[in-house]
Each structure stands twice: as C-alpha cells, then as structure tokens.
A and B are shown apart, each in its own frame.
Chain A
C-alpha cells in the first residue's frame, strides 16, 4: 500500500497510526466493505420502493390496528443504544490495542452489551410480528403487508446476521487475541452495525411513523 502512515485515506473509522501495518491494511478492507454496503443499500432501496407503491387494503387491518408504537419506540431505543456501544467497542480497540495497553476484557464487554441490545431489538420485533399475524395481518394477506413484512424482515435478518458476526468476533478475540484479522473484522462489523441503524431510521420514519400519521 502506498498510503503514507498517519494519514487516513480510507473512509470510516480508522485505527490510528500506532497500529502500524494493520492501519494500512484497513484501507483496502474497509473500502471494500463500504462498496458492498452501497450495494446492499440499493437492495433495501428496492424494498422501500416497492413498499411505497403499495396501499393498505380495506379488507385487512391497517397500520393503526397493527402497529404497537410503544414496542417500536423500544426497538428504536435498543438499536440506537447498541450503535453507541458498538462505537465504544471500536474506540476501545483503537486506543487500547495500538501497542499500548491491551484490555481485551473491556472490548468484549462492549461487544456483548451490543449483542444484548441487538437481541432485545429482535425480541421486540419478533413479538410484534407474532401479534401482527394474530391480529389478522400476516404477509400473505395483501400486497401492502407482504411489502411491510419483507422490508422490516429483511432488516431483521441483517440484524440477526450482525449479531452472529459480533459473537464470532468475540470468540475470535478471546481465542486468537486482538490481531490484525479481528481488528479489520471489527471495523467492518461496526460499519455494518451503524448502517443497520441508518436503515432502521428510514424504516421507522417512513413505514411506522408514515403509517400512523
């Protein structure tokens, strides 16, 4: 890599120059992940677009009957807080594993806290799905409900993937230590986690708020 040390050329969180070669390696790896997320964002965009073209049918329950706003507020809180904790995890890695201290415990703490919040989000989301289905709004009922379930569900699947990924990283840093591979994985995972947060904000605003207002 030709990037001069100390100057961050890659977008997103950097490791800082005290991480030496790892810092330079992150350039390609993290940039690649940004590009992948752009692609993933288009996938979400397509589901948004389809959702935007559908209307609740008169035959079936609509947003007012189906959405539990309290639960959605909880989900939002869980996910936004988990973004903060994931940010703390990355800062811990940046500052404590750059050749100075090596407090892996602290890193694992923040990661597990993120997982916990993520699971809280998923728990509320799944129970919402179950109550929606019970209230006569399963996805097979109408085009609107198909689009709603698949858009929210696609985000939920991403969150599930993110949680599994995070657990893999936890095991990785415990078994192998915070070496280059896990540092880069953590950088990419953190980007992914923030990205899911951003997507959620759009889902919250357009799907849920938009449906209720």
Chain B
C-alpha cells in the first residue's frame, strides 16, 4: 500500500531527516540548503499575506503580457542564480582547503558540480536571456505582443517545472552526480540506480520542451509581426541575435529532448541505447548531447552580443558601425555552431582527420566573433562615449571575453586539447566566456532596459560597484584556474595532493567570495533603487537617448506598448524622428486596442508538469498518470474555451498617449551630461555632438 502510494519515496529520502540520523558537516550543509526551501516558502507566503499581495500575484502568474512574462523569467533566474553562486562558492572554498581532502564528501561535491552546471546553464543563463528577449523584442519590432501569447506562458510554466524539480531535489532525495552533461553509462541504471539522474533527465527534458516552444514563438514573432517598413536589414541588432537564438533553439533543443528520452528509456524500461552491453553505444549519447550542447553555448552568447551592440551604439551616441557585418557575423556563428560539436570530445577515439576538420571549423568561429568585437570598438570611436554602468560591462567584456575566446582557440586545436582537456583550464575557459559574455551582457541589459519597463532607473553608484565586483571576483576566481589546469589539475576533483596548487586555489576561493558579494550587490542595487524610485523616475521613457523603437513609449511601458503601431523608414527610426522633431507630434486617430486576457493555462500546465516529473522520479505511477492525463484534458479543454480578449477603449489610450506627447513637447529634457542625475526624466535633448 505504502509503496503503491509513494513509490520509492521513503522517510529517509527527506534530507532533513538524514541530518538527524547522521549529523556531520556534509549533512549539515545539505540540510541547511534543504531547510531554505520550506523556510523560504513560508516566508514568501507570510509576506504575501502580510502585504495582501495574493491578488497581484495571480494577476502576474496568469498574465500573458510579454513584459510580465519576461520579468518572471528574470526573477526565476535570479533565484536560481542565488543557488548557483552559493554552490560555486562552496566548491571553490572546498578546493582552497582541499589539499589532501576538503570538508565536503566526494558524493556531495559531485552533486554540487552537477547541480551548479545544470542550474547555471538551464535555469539561470537561459531564463535570463529568454526573459530579456521577451521584454525587449516585441518593443523593438513595434509589436503589441508575441505571436502566440498563451504558448509563451506555457513555455514559462515548463521552465518553472524544470526549476521545481532541481529545487525539490535539495529537499527530497538527491541530484545526479554525473556532471551537467550526464554521460552514461555513469548515469545509467546499472551504475546509478538512484533518483539523481532521473531528476536530471526530467528537469532538463521538460524545461527543454519549454525552450523549443519559446524558439518557435520568437522566430514567428520576428518573422511575422514587425512594424510596417521594418525590413530585415532595419531590425535592431538585439532582435537579430534573438532571431538567431530562436533558430538555434528550434534546431538544437530536439537532440537534447531525444537524448533525454533515450536515457530515460534505458533507465526506466531497460532499453539498450547507451549501455555497455547488448549493442548499446554511449558515444551516441555524447554526440546527441553535444549536437545540442554546442549550439547551446551560442544560444547563451548571441543575445548577449545583441545587448552589447545596442549599448555600444546608444552610449556612444552613434550609429552602430558595420551593421551589415554584425548581422552577417551573427548568422555565420549560428550556422557554424552546428558544425563543431565534436570538439567537446576530441580525445574519444576519432581519427585525426575528423579531429582536424572539427578543429578547423571551431577555429573559424573566431573570425565572425572578431569581426563583432572590432565593430563595437569602431562604434565607440569618435562617439560621444559615456562611461555608464552598461559601458563598464562592455569594457570588461572587451578585455575579459577576448581572453576567454582566445583560450577557446587554444582548446580548439586537437593536439593542445589532448593536453588540456578535462583539466581546470577548460573550466577557466568556459567560465571566462560565460561570465564576461553572457552574465555581463545580461546585467548590462537589465540596467539598460530596466527604466523602460518599470519606470525608474537603477541607482548608478550601486550598479557601478556591482559591475566592478563581478569583474574583480571573476578575475580572481577563474584566471588562476588556467594556471592550475596547465599544472595538471583535473576538473571535478574534490581533493588534490600537490601542495604547489594551494596558493592558486586560495586566490580562486577568495575570488568566489567576491562573486558572492557581487551577487549580494545585485540585490542591494535593486532594493535601494526601489526604495528611492521617486527620485529615479523617467516617465518620458527615453533615459539614454535611445535609437530604436522600444524607447518611443512612456515608461513604464503601457500594457499595449504602442498607442498606434509605429511605421519605420530607417534603421534607427527613433533617432531619426527625434532629429526631425517629429517624435512626439500629436496623433490624430486612435483605435480600440484588443489584447489577450489573462489565463490560467500556463499555471495549470506548470502544476501538472511538476506532478508528472515528481511522480516519474519517485515511481509514483498514479501521480504521473493522473498529471499526464490532466495535461491532455487541459489542452483539449482550452481548445474549446472561448478566446477571451481585453478591449482597451480608444479614449483611454488617447488620454494616456496625448498627455505623454504633450508633456514631452513642452519639457526641455536633459543632455547626456545629466544622464545619471535626478534631472533625467527620460527625455533627451540634442547634445553637443549632433547624431550622425
């Protein structure tokens, strides 16, 4: 009876119970982490009751507004980033004292690097970028929403299911110990029959479905919903990179789905895809995984390149240099990214010819990436450059990302890879591209677009300190790893015996602490800015003298984005309108706006998906079956429910829009000298340098 109800879930599976049964430092740490879930959950619920936030909460959770969905993605990513950073600090500190054995048990350490990687890639970097894309792309192309708003909500729901599974594994059971790549046969049923790999497969498999749907949604949005006159070569660069990312999601996620399915079949039903016997072949998994995995790294970096392009142009008050080159480079990278997956396993027995071909293909990617860096540098050249926070991130990116890219070129050479593979050199390399690339891009993008969506700027001082802390912490934490990697230290080792490594590991551990401080400052910046928001308001909506359509609305942007859909006749449409003085001219005709109404669709799918995943992990078959059937019933029910629309009357739109335009015509605005002062109300005055 008990087994039918709870499957293989027992009292001992709950981590907190293990702490009582076997108290030691490892169980104390896991119990502390596990306790954060119920305690944090209780605090959140208490806060919701205290502030009476239930209604607004459901308003958000049921919203199909792309700006709110994007915000929820980013909040989700910040929560997961917290966990990822703490895990990173634990590992680096363990290594700092890890000579002849640190304080973590090897099993605990293995779980830490697995969850850290899985978490950071799938539930931090991707939601951050998809969140930014959600918020920005419809605004940049002059649309009111995405092509399929309900599908967008479902994608968010499926991502949340993955997050739920990886989080609940802290409290109940354990996570995989096979690294974020989860190679069988180590994650196979024979060697690892526990729940860990099942959590892994289901969390990334389900979240992967959500990402595929996001890719479809944004590809269609960008292809079909651009404003009148916005041809492809007039799209802002961020939208271009979002398009390339969407295409990569569409084609790169299916291999992940396939290899998760196959590994699942091996584990649950005893198939022989990746087993060592009976004609199984684990190389198939490795090929499939990296057919997803390599495009994935460009899914992570391309939108960050897009953010950097927008920032370089805006904060030097110049048209983006080499627009066509940047578009071509982005496309080149997207195509090449499918042709290099084998460089992740040069040492696994292919012929030298195959290795050489993939090595050369990998080296080729450096060319379009170099083109991009030079284009951004040339954009700054002779511009009206302001060293605002996003520019600090851009400068950090120029230097640090270039180092990371160059170490990638080193690893792309199979002969060198034979020496360096599986060492901390590799760990240093990919952190060196992901932190100064993706993370800097995301943070710069959040600072840049924050006032657009929420109506106030982030505090400048705090943001600058945060930027420096990230850069400083990164340098300390990861550059030493290049050295220890070359000294022969392998990745994913809990302890080591060579005393010469100790100083480097201590520096790296200190760097990790600085990264923790940097994360704290992200939250601090947000909190202080919310408290001081009255002084930071930018109601006119154009705090940085922006160039693209998203700045052509009040801030916070109304639900319908544009009172009247804009028409575009150039690349920097808004800059041209401002130069001609037509940006804030009155509009004669307003029409009723039809927006999709709130729906519980995504929320229901998320709840059922969580049940499905949890039921499968613990062999609670009844739960899995009920939730699976529930998903089907939900989809069919929604197919019959009438499409609900919200009509916003023309009079209401007219009032808000006319007030904004009139005030903008009557105010003077500020020059770029006062960009980061309280005087900045979001209206740009022509500057000493006229826009070329």
Q: Is B520 an interface residue (CB 8 A)?
A: no
27 residue pairs A–B, Cβ–Cβ below 8 Å: A28-B220, A31-B220, A35-B216, A35-B219, A35-B250, A39-B216, A39-B253, A45-B254, A46-B254, A47-B258, A49-B288, A50-B258, A50-B288, A53-B284, A55-B279, A139-B265, A139-B271, A139-B272, A142-B278, A143-B272, A143-B275, A145-B272, A146-B273, A146-B280, A147-B273, A150-B262, A181-B643
Chain A residues positioned under 8 Å from B254 (CB to CB): 39-40, 42-43, 45-46
Chain A residues positioned under 8 Å from B220 (CB to CB): 28, 31-32, 35
Identify the A interface with B (CB < 8 A).
Answer: 1-2, 27-28, 31-32, 35-36, 38-40, 42-43, 45-47, 49-50, 53-55, 57, 139-147, 149-150, 164, 168, 172, 175-176, 181, 185
Chain A residues positioned under 8 Å from B334 (CB to CB): none
Task: Decide if A31 touches B223 in the complex (CB within 8 Å).
Answer: yes
In the assembled complex, the Cα of A55 lies from the Cα of B147 at a distance in Å of: 44
Q: Is B190 an interface residue (CB 8 A)?
A: no
Task: Decide if B251 touches A140 in the complex (CB within 8 Å).
Answer: no
Residue of A at shortest CB range from B246?
A: A35
Chain A residues positioned under 8 Å from B284 (CB to CB): 50, 53
Residue of B at shortest CB range from A150?
A: B265
Contact with A along B273-291 (1 / 0, CB 8 A): 1010011110010001001
Q: Which of A27, A35, A150 has the most CB of B within 10 A?
A: A35
**Shortest Cβ distance from residue B284 to the other chain A in the assembled complex, whole angstroms:** 5
In the assembled complex, the Cα of A38 lies from the Cα of B249 at a distance in Å of: 11
Count of chain A to chain B residue pairs whose CB atoms are closer than 8 Å in the complex: 104
Task: Decide if A28 touches B262 in the complex (CB within 8 Å).
Answer: no
Chain B residues positioned under 8 Å from A1 (CB to CB): 224
> 3 closest pairs, A vs B, by CB?
A143-B279, A46-B258, A42-B254
Residue of A at shortest CB range from B217?
A: A32
Task: Decide if B250 touches A39 in the complex (CB within 8 Å).
Answer: yes
Contacts A46-B288, A146-B280 known; list 12 others, CB within 8 Å. Answer: A27-B224, A32-B148, A32-B220, A36-B213, A38-B251, A42-B250, A42-B251, A46-B254, A140-B271, A142-B272, A172-B640, A176-B640
In the assembled complex, the Cα of A152 lies from the Cα of B219 at a distance in Å of: 30
Q: Which of B217, B224, B257, B275 is close to A43, meaning CB atoms less than 8 Å apart?
A: B257
User: A-side binding surface: helix, strand, loop or mixed?
Assistant: helix
Q: Is B473 an interface residue (CB 8 A)?
A: no
In the assembled complex, the Cα of A53 lies from the Cα of B259 at a distance in Å of: 14
Chain A residues positioned under 8 Å from B148 (CB to CB): 32
In the assembled complex, the Cα of A40 lies from the Cα of B224 at a distance in Å of: 21
Task: Decide if B250 touches A38 in the complex (CB within 8 Å).
Answer: yes
Task: Decide if A43 touches B258 in the complex (CB within 8 Å).
Answer: yes
Task: Decide if B250 touches A141 in the complex (CB within 8 Å).
Answer: no
Identify the B interface with A (CB < 8 A).
Answer: 147-148, 212-213, 215-217, 219-220, 223-225, 228, 250-251, 253-255, 257-259, 261-262, 265-266, 269-273, 275, 278-281, 284, 288, 291, 632, 636, 639-640, 643
**Shortest Cβ distance from residue B623 to the other chain A in the assembled complex, whole angstroms:** 21
Residue of A at shortest CB range from B291?
A: A46
Q: Which of B215, B228, B279, B280 is close to A39, meaning CB atoms less than 8 Å apart?
A: B215
Residue of A at shortest CB range from B271?
A: A146
Chain A residues positioned under 8 Å from B224 (CB to CB): 1, 27-28, 31
Task: Decide if A36 touches B643 in the complex (CB within 8 Å).
Answer: no
Task: Decide if B265 touches A146 in the complex (CB within 8 Å).
Answer: yes
In the assembled complex, the Cα of A32 lies from the Cα of B148 at a distance in Å of: 9
In the assembled complex, the Cα of A166 lies from the Cα of B223 at a distance in Å of: 29
Q: Which of A27, A36, A53 has the most CB of B within 10 A?
A: A36
Task: Decide if B228 touches A168 in the complex (CB within 8 Å).
Answer: no
Task: Decide if A185 touches B269 in the complex (CB within 8 Å).
Answer: no
Chain B residues positioned under 8 Å from A39 (CB to CB): 212, 215-216, 250-251, 253-254
Task: Decide if A140 touches B262 in the complex (CB within 8 Å).
Answer: no
**Shortest Cβ distance from residue B122 to the other chain A in the assembled complex, whole angstroms:** 18
Query: Do A142 and B262 contact each other (CB < 8 Å), given the known contacts A168-B639, A181-B643, A185-B639?
Result: no
Chain B residues positioned under 8 Å from A46 (CB to CB): 254-255, 258-259, 288, 291
In the assembled complex, the Cα of A164 lies from the Cα of B262 at a distance in Å of: 25
**Shortest Cβ distance from residue B243 to the other chain A in the assembled complex, whole angstroms:** 12
Task: Decide if B279 touches A54 in the complex (CB within 8 Å).
Answer: yes
**Shortest Cβ distance from residue A43 to the other chain B in the assembled complex, whole angstroms:** 4
In the assembled complex, the Cα of A2 lies from the Cα of B142 at a distance in Å of: 14
Q: Which of A31, A32, A143, A168 is close to B278, meaning CB atoms less than 8 Å apart?
A: A143
Task: Decide if A172 touches B639 in the complex (CB within 8 Å).
Answer: yes
In the assembled complex, the Cα of A2 lies from the Cα of B143 at a distance in Å of: 13
**Shortest Cβ distance from residue A165 to the other chain B in the assembled complex, whole angstroms:** 9
Chain B residues positioned under 8 Å from A28 (CB to CB): 147, 220, 224-225
In the assembled complex, the Cα of A77 lies from the Cα of B262 at a distance in Å of: 30
Query: Do A50 and B273 contact each other (CB < 8 Å), given the known contacts A32-B216, A39-B215, A43-B258?
Result: yes
Chain B residues positioned under 8 Å from A42 (CB to CB): 250-251, 254-255
Task: Decide if A175 touches B258 in the complex (CB within 8 Å).
Answer: no
Chain A residues positioned under 8 Å from B279 (CB to CB): 54-55, 57, 142-144
In the assembled complex, the Cα of A35 lies from the Cα of B224 at a distance in Å of: 12
Task: Decide if A168 touches B636 in the complex (CB within 8 Å).
Answer: yes
Chain A residues positioned under 8 Å from B212 (CB to CB): 39
Chain A residues positioned under 8 Å from B632 (CB to CB): 164
Task: Decide if A140 touches B255 in the complex (CB within 8 Å).
Answer: no
Chain A residues positioned under 8 Å from B272 (CB to CB): 139-143, 145-146
In the assembled complex, the Cα of A43 lies from the Cα of B212 at a distance in Å of: 11
Residue of A at shortest CB range from B151?
A: A32
**Shortest Cβ distance from residue B489 to the other chain A in the assembled complex, whole angstroms:** 35
In the assembled complex, the Cα of A121 lies from the Cα of B639 at a distance in Å of: 26
Q: Which of B225, B250, B262, B640 is close to A50, meaning CB atoms less than 8 Å apart?
A: B262
In the assembled complex, the Cα of A68 lies from the Cα of B261 at a distance in Å of: 27
Q: Which of B224, B250, B251, B636 has the most CB of A within 10 A?
A: B224
**Shortest Cβ distance from residue B266 to the other chain A in the assembled complex, whole angstroms:** 8
Residue of A at shortest CB range from B275?
A: A143
Task: Decide if B223 touches A54 in the complex (CB within 8 Å).
Answer: no
Chain B residues positioned under 8 Å from A175 (CB to CB): 640
Chain B residues positioned under 8 Å from A140 (CB to CB): 269-272
Residue of B at shortest CB range from A59?
A: B278
Chain B residues positioned under 8 Å from A146 (CB to CB): 265-266, 271-273, 280
In the assembled complex, the Cα of A46 lies from the Cα of B643 at a distance in Å of: 37
Chain A residues positioned under 8 Å from B262 (CB to CB): 50, 150
Chain B residues positioned under 8 Å from A2 (CB to CB): 228
In the assembled complex, the Cα of A38 lies from the Cα of B212 at a distance in Å of: 11
Residue of B at shortest CB range from A149?
A: B271
Query: Do A143 and B281 contact each other (CB < 8 Å), given the known contacts A31-B224, A38-B250, A181-B643?
Result: yes
Q: Which of B228, B270, B271 has the most CB of A within 10 A?
A: B271
Chain B residues positioned under 8 Å from A49 (CB to CB): 288
Chain A residues positioned under 8 Å from B225 (CB to CB): 28
Q: Which of A39, A47, A150 has the most CB of B within 10 A?
A: A39
In the assembled complex, the Cα of A147 lies from the Cα of B265 at a distance in Å of: 10
**Shortest Cβ distance from residue B248 to the other chain A in the assembled complex, whole angstroms:** 11
In the assembled complex, the Cα of A118 lies from the Cα of B420 at a distance in Å of: 54
Query: Do A150 and B271 contact each other (CB < 8 Å), given the known contacts A28-B224, A31-B220?
Result: yes
Task: Decide if A54 touches B281 in the complex (CB within 8 Å).
Answer: yes
**Shortest Cβ distance from residue A148 to the other chain B in the assembled complex, whole angstroms:** 11
In the assembled complex, the Cα of A139 lies from the Cα of B262 at a distance in Å of: 12
In the assembled complex, the Cα of A181 lies from the Cα of B212 at a distance in Å of: 24
Q: Which of A27, A53, A168 is close to B281, meaning CB atoms less than 8 Å apart?
A: A53
Q: Which of A31, A149, A172 has the most CB of B within 10 A?
A: A31
Query: Do A32 and B147 contact each other (CB < 8 Å), given the known contacts A38-B251, A39-B212, A143-B281?
Result: yes
In the assembled complex, the Cα of A28 lies from the Cα of B643 at a distance in Å of: 17
In the assembled complex, the Cα of A35 lies from the Cα of B248 at a distance in Å of: 12
Chain B residues positioned under 8 Å from A176 (CB to CB): 640
In the assembled complex, the Cα of A154 lies from the Cα of B279 at a distance in Å of: 21
**Shortest Cβ distance from residue A70 to the other chain B in the assembled complex, whole angstroms:** 28
In the assembled complex, the Cα of A164 lies from the Cα of B631 at a distance in Å of: 14
Chain A residues positioned under 8 Å from B259 (CB to CB): 46
